[in-house]
Amino acid sequence: MKIAAILLILIIAISGCSDSNSNGQDLEPKNPENPPQLDPVESEWDAIRANNAAQFSPEWGTPVLAGISTNNWEDSAFISGDGQTLYFTYYPGDITADMAKLEFKDDFDIFYSPKPFTQKFVHPISKDIWSEAGAMISGGDIYYMSNFLEQDEIGVIEANDNIYKNSERLPFNTLGYETDPHYCAAQDELYYWVTPSYVDFKPGDIYVYKDGKSTLLGPPINTDAHDLEPFLTKDCQTMYFTSHRNGKGEIFVSKRLGEFAWQEPSLVATSPFGVGKATLTDDGEYLFFVQGFSSALGANNADILYVQRKAN
């Protein structure tokens, strides 16, 4: 199998946590001769989720766990505009632990779940061996990241994370790592983020591809920290994105000022171990997101949750 080189934002977020949980508990087992299990059972994860709920800006309600979330790794959420289908990436385990051991249970695959989001199905765009993530749907098209091997004109084989549309590799991809595409039809713009290297954790930046050219967004969207996972509302006038400008993954929102120009973003959501990958229904009533959790002994989990906009 070929595990994606993508460093999903919650991996970055969780890896930056201290050696104690949010309640200040020491990670050292109380009884070294009979230590607790590293991987919490479902009831323990439920308690961890409850004790580390994401905090949202006042216009949003209380987070609700999506039914497809498990003790394994659900990430890269995208909700269809009509709110009827949830797309996401799934890995059957704790990817942070498996990355540390370089022992992987499977590759990343794209799944979809019809409302009420209690069942999941492998999307046919997923390929055996290779990894796919960051899917989004626009019209009849699917945009996503894949590390499917490509051969260039001089015969060099590459396995970087690149952006695809309907199984076709898009022309702006580079030797860096492009992922989490979001196409906004109203402006014919494709947003995505890039990092030149996952090995040394170089910060990611948000780009927009328009009229055959990729443009790096300037401040206040991109900073010296990781800025990534852009999502635009249907009219392309509001962007939600993930940023580590405060030291961990948080969700921000910004209003468009003009072409490639955006207002100073405001904080939408934060949590002890990181949140990201915001995605909204077309009516703006529901916001889905990914949240990371960590146990007292260092086991990690990523889940998909959603919030509903409060009535005015």
Per-residue model confidence (pLDDT) at position 28: 34
Contact 236, 261 (CB under 8 A): no
Q: In the predicted model, what is the mean pLDDT of residues 184-209?
A: 86
Q: Is residue 23 part of a domain?
A: no
Contact 288, 276 (CB under 8 A): no
Per-residue model confidence (pLDDT) at position 290: 98
Q: In the predicted model, what is the mean pLDDT of residues 256-261?
A: 96
Q: Is residue 102 part of a domain?
A: yes
Q: Is residue 261 part of a domain?
A: yes
| Beta carbons within 8 Å of 176's beta carbon, 6+ residues apart | 160, 194, 195, 196, 197
Q: In the predicted model, what is the mean pLDDT of residues 17-40?
A: 43
Query: Is the pLDDT reported for residue 150 higher than 60?
Result: no
243-to-89, 251, 281 alpha-carbon distances in Å: 20, 7, 21
Per-residue model confidence (pLDDT) at position 16: 44
Q: Is residue 31 part of a domain?
A: no
For the chain, what is the domain count? Answer: 1
Q: In the predicted model, what is the mean pLDDT of residues 24-52?
A: 63
Q: Is residue 27 part of a domain?
A: no
Per-residue model confidence (pLDDT) at position 147: 87
The Cα 6–Cα 145 span in angstroms is: 9
Q: Is residue 73 part of a domain?
A: yes
Mean model confidence pLDDT for the chain: 86
Q: Is residue 217 part of a domain?
A: yes
Q: Is the dihedral of CA 71, 72, 76, 82 positive or negative?
A: negative
Type of residue at 71: N
- Residue 231 lies in domain: 9-17+36-308
| Beta carbons within 8 Å of 184's beta carbon, 6+ residues apart | 138, 190, 191, 232, 234, 236
User: What is the per-residue burial (b if ≥16 Cβ within 10 Å, else e) of 255-284?
Assistant: ebeeeeebeebeebbbbbbbbbbbbbbeee
φ, ψ for residue 273 (rounded to 5)?
A: -115, 5
Q: Is residue 3 part of a domain?
A: no
Contact 243, 265 (CB under 8 A): yes
Domain with residue 97: its CATH number is 2.120.10
Confidence of residue 175 (pLDDT cuts 50, 70, 90): confident
- Model pTM? 0.88
The Cα 129–Cα 107 span in angstroms is: 6
Contact 231, 184 (CB under 8 A): no
The Cα 129–Cα 21 span in angstroms is: 35
In tens, the pLDDT along 197-247 reads 655 556 899 999 999 999 999 999 999 999 999 999 999 999 999 999 999
